[in-house]
Structure 1
């Protein structure tokens, strides 16, 4: 694609300020829009992607199933070229004054704010989420850049005196060139959660969004140009995990990897980099998160909040959030009341094509359907949903899964064990506090947990025993960007956020200065 054609198509994308306008643009094009890599500060097409259709990937709109755009499946030599661009930019960027880096990141946040609705529109179309949900995530992307732009201006370090011998102090420097790989469920938010601290702490990067949801990452390149990010500091390449992602993380020129995605992919990254001992790894992986509902949270004064939080944690973004509470455990004395009220609330508040979007891809839709078919085979009780899902004729053209509530699911069922990552929850009774903790912790995962109770002592007593990196009490998805984000067990390794992101993107040395 020529530069003039690329500029024209970018202009067309930016001009869409409503969902209808974006949909009309897709309908009016004779062929899907072609995304280009952003390398060295400009959009380029890898030469081999121009000659081989097998090295293109087509992305489809989840709500309709129609093709939206194609993207290159960037081949290893083109991946290496992007890495070399980042490596060439590192010496200058790593020595750029913090105030200058801060100003550039702040400009990125301002430009995102100015284009908030355009980003939300394309995020909604590309991922399947509702426009309202997309707006929330664009706001969080804006916060990622504004937060880290100021964080680096107020860092502290530690100094200690060894009496009469030496003064010691910690000195940090940027760790180098990073591979930043983000998933398809919250594309812009999770990609910027990596890019913002990486650049703030003086590192350069090659970012690879999911091949399923690449549109907002493509637009982000234009924002970086306009904000004055120097060429090569951030490069964005497109492609799949097996070809593009594997070449990226395995390169010896990459000093660190920040990855959010599935546990099996995290294991593959560990294997690919096992011999590269010095490579920084931050892996935020899967989750099969519990929600614990105690009887005191179902008293009339707080019942509505309990139902609302449990439903939000189950069905926001079609359940396609790694932090969703898909295993609900309810104290037996209020179990029947909870199932009744929860089902009624979800039926009213979480409605397909209104407050519930489509799931991200045909492959993922088929995966969820297989779990629903398994639930039917295992004689689980469907309080909402069905197997196969009941859809209207027009809905059948997209990837739609009705919110599904299951009871009578065996403890050892794959439905209770596997990360389904969709609008499917199970509800199971428990007798007492210790059983609740045991059930919650009976998982290979340990990313998040939701605890619903009014007992202050229980909040601490149970919360501190849950094997989860993030525990929410009577709320969900509340984030302060300085707190550590990450999981236990098979939910990953490392933490990001504030000083924890600094640990990922910097190296620390201790200097000892003699006192004489």
Structure 2
């Protein structure tokens, strides 16, 4: 652990990994429970974790068994009574300390997030800053909560009282490992719940570092426990555990469905599921023709929404629809901008894993076989399992001539979750809204226009939990975060997170003397 914490630059981290590689003994992560790290039994299942930029094995991830999960949940349950009664000011102080320690080690977290996930170092720094904000925001939010009261005239005063819901399972994905894990842990602890967290087995390094932060910050034993492992064994045991009172999950829709099925008989369990997306970006002609500045911002925003973090953000706008009158102009300008500004190895990282590389490659093969036009990008080469020295690099790809129905239309319907974007023309507002909403998903949408009336007229018709007008990925942490349709259920953020992690009771106080 000390060597890992000392490796706070890319050069130092690379030197450490070369040292580990030469010793033929990958770094082995350890579970964190009862405020201590514990090594898994050598005979237990482990998962190899690979660096996306090089394909080399950098760590062994222990896979927590059902017995490991049971022990951690019981520890969290035992810690719950004291933590739920801990004064808000003390919880706030501890969360603020966590925020400060991450900030003090910002570059360390960014370096290992970049190595572990494949993202650029610049992108990793942005996400570390958001993780810092998650803890600082909820550390103060709980100090300024309000509640509602009502009077039954002449009979009783009623008021809403909130209390922590219990032990939570917090399961985060591989695309923004630290940011999305802290988005769950911070409010969970702030509102007085305890937790067992499971990061993705593909990207577990920042969670391992975060566990050491919790211990350094002085959080009480077992308030937060972090177990590593896969979904089939560790995740399944965690979400179905009868002592777990809630699940906050971010990931694929298929897994979200599995969680609902596994917990359908546990009515008491709070579920907050942020799932997949196939998000539209709508570009209207006025966004390009109003002024050169507007045109430049439109191209820049659409490109950022498509290719930031290699397109591995659930909120990316991977379906671009452009008003017919400016379609050709947009395609040319967009292609030129992407070619100049989104370059693999510089401003675009590697995709997260060999499995994901193969999935994206399969979609690009389909595009090639169906005669779609590659404005940028191409079908990447096959990488066989076991090949070393090859990273999982896919060029930013812009596709046109994509069929709306029949073979090949899956590129418009299915979540590719990579640096691939399609561009399709539309005739008018009604058709634009129809195209945008023609999806099983409803997580996010981007609307680019200078028409004030259209901003509301179209924006309020889009089937999306988050709609950005002339911007993308800006958030105030108190606003509701979540999607419609198959993009999930529940909302988190500010008071919406309070709804997830607390239970409400109404207290009636008689106004007449008893």
Please state which band the TM-score falls in when normalised by the shorter chain: over 0.9
Q: Which residue number corresponds to residue 24 of structure 1?
A: 15
What pairs up with 1:401-416 in 2 under 5 angstroms? 401-412=394-405, 413-416=409-412
What pairs up with 1:86-105 in 2 under 5 angstroms? 86-105=76-95
Structure 2 residue 238 is matched with structure 1 residue 228: no
Secondary structure of residue in 1 paired with 2:103: helix
1:466, CA displacement in angstroms? 0.1
Q: Which residue number corresponds to residue 251 of structure 2?
A: 261
Secondary structure of residue in 1 paired with 2:293: coil
Structure 1 pair 124–471 and aligned structure 2 pair: CA distance change class (3 A):
same
Q: Which residue number corresponds to residue 489 of structure 1?
A: 485
**Aligned match of 2:67 in 40, 52, 77?**
77
State how far apart, in whole Å, the 1-side matches of 2:413 and 2:376 are. 20
1:34, CA displacement in angstroms? 0.3
Structure 2 residue 457 is matched with structure 1 residue 461: yes
Structure 2 residue 159 is matched with structure 1 residue 169: yes
1:284, CA displacement in angstroms? 0.1
Contact 1:389 1:401 in 2 (8 A): no
1:51, CA displacement in angstroms? 1.7
Q: Which residue number corresponds to residue 435 of structure 2?
A: 439
1:50, CA displacement in angstroms? 1.6
1:76, CA displacement in angstroms? 0.3
State how far apart, in whole Å, the 1-side matches of 2:79 and 2:58 are. 33
Q: Which residue number corresponds to residue 5 of structure 1?
A: none
Q: Which residue number corresponds to residue 169 of structure 2?
A: 179
State how far apart, in whole Å, the 1-side matches of 2:305 and 2:139 are. 30
What pairs up with 1:327-476 in 2 under 5 angstroms? 327-388=319-380, 397-412=390-405, 413-476=409-472
Structure 2 residue 296 is matched with structure 1 residue 304: yes
Secondary structure of residue in 2 paired with 1:443: coil
Secondary structure of residue in 1 paired with 2:505: strand
1:250, CA displacement in angstroms? 0.4
State how far apart, in whole Å, the 1-side matches of 2:179 and 2:341 are. 25
Contact 2:380 2:394 in 1 (8 A): no
Once the two structures are superposed, residues 250-299 of structure 1 have per-residue CA deviations (whole angstroms, 9 ceiling, x without a partner) of 00010000000000000000000000011000000000000000000002
Once the two structures are superposed, residues 17-45 of structure 1 have per-residue CA deviations (whole angstroms, 9 ceiling, x without a partner) of 21011011001111110000000100012
Q: Which residue number corresponds to residue 131 of structure 1?
A: 121
Q: Which runs of 5+ in 2 are unaligned?
A: none
State how far apart, in whole Å, the 2-side matches of 1:217 and 1:18 are. 18
Secondary structure of residue in 2 paired with 1:258: strand
Contact 2:56 2:389 in 1 (8 A): no
Q: Which runs of 5+ in 1 are unaligned?
A: 1-9
**Aligned match of 1:36 in 13, 30, 41?**
30
Contact 2:154 2:511 in 1 (8 A): yes
Structure 2 residue 323 is matched with structure 1 residue 322: no
Q: Which residue number corresponds to residue 195 of structure 1?
A: 185
Instruction: Give the TM-score, by structure 1 length.
Output: 0.96
Contact 1:309 1:475 in 2 (8 A): yes
1:387, CA displacement in angstroms? 1.7
Once the two structures are superposed, residues 448-481 of structure 1 have per-residue CA deviations (whole angstroms, 9 ceiling, x without a partner) of 0000000000000000000000000000000100
Structure 1 pair 425–395 and aligned structure 2 pair: CA distance change class (3 A):
farther
State how far apart, in whole Å, the 1-side matches of 2:380 and 2:307 are. 19
Secondary structure of residue in 2 paired with 1:397: coil
Secondary structure of residue in 2 paired with 1:88: helix
Structure 2 residue 179 is matched with structure 1 residue 155: no
State how far apart, in whole Å, the 2-side matches of 1:475 and 1:376 are. 32
State how far apart, in whole Å, the 1-side matches of 2:260 and 2:178 are. 25
State how far apart, in whole Å, the 2-side matches of 1:353 and 1:140 are. 23
**RMSD over aligned Cα atoms:** 1.2
State how far apart, in whole Å, the 2-side matches of 1:389 and 1:361 are. 15
Q: Which residue number corresponds to residue 242 of structure 1?
A: 232
Contact 2:55 2:388 in 1 (8 A): no
Structure 1 pair 180–27 and aligned structure 2 pair: CA distance change class (3 A):
same
State how far apart, in whole Å, the 1-side matches of 2:344 and 2:380 are. 15
